């Protein structure tokens, strides 16, 4: 059976990377939304323009809702990674304490 080594600091570093990636994606999404808001008048105010704008708005809501949901999940995964690292640290501390406690009686 092979050994498994866990490095909580590396898990925390990975969590930070996930958070940074999520924040970067959110920044790009926000920038894109701002650029697109400036283009709202491009469709014009005739019937065809109104139809195009309505379709765009519906697609926009679905697409950006999905981006926001995924971004929230990335942040949740980062929190889970940090909790995992904390649990490994706590387990290691408990094991070290117990081994040292047993050594007193040997």
- Give me the number of domains the chain comprises: 1
Report, as an integer, the average pLDDT of 72-92.
Answer: 96
Separation between Cα atoms, residue 29 and residue 46, nearest integer Å:
29
Asked if residue 56 belongs to a domain, the reply is yes
Residue 60 C-beta-side C-alpha neighbours within 13 Å: 15
**Rounded to two decimals, what is the model's pTM?**
0.74
Look at the block and give the residue holding tokens 């080594």. Answer: 5
Residue 103, pLDDT score: 74
83 vs 42 pLDDT, higher one = 83
Q: Is the CB of residue 15 less than 8 Å from the CB of residue 84?
A: no
Asked if residue 96 belongs to a domain, the reply is yes
Asked if residue 3 belongs to a domain, the reply is no
- Domain containing 53 equals 8-105
How does residue 27 score in pLDDT terms, banded at 50, 70 and 90? very high
Q: Is the CB of residue 81 less than 8 Å from the CB of residue 20?
A: no
List, for residues 41-81, the tens digit of each pLDDT value. 777 778 888 888 888 888 888 888 888 899 999 999 999 99
Residue 1, pLDDT score: 62
pLDDT tops 70 at residue 40: no
Asked if residue 2 belongs to a domain, the reply is no
């Amino acid at each position: 059976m092979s050994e498994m080594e866990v490095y909580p600091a590396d898990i925390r570093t990975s969590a930070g990377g996930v958070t940074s990636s999520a924040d970067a994606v959110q920044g790009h999404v926000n920038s894109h939304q701002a650029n697109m808001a400036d283009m709202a008048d491009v469709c014009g105010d005739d019937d065809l323009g109104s139809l195009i704008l309505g379709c765009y708005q519906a697609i926009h809501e679905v697409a950006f809702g999905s981006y926001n949901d995924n971004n929230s999940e990335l942040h949740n995964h980062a929190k889970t990674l940090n909790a995992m690292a904390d649990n490994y640290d706590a387990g290691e501390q408990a094991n070290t304490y117990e081994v040292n406690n047993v050594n007193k009686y040997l």
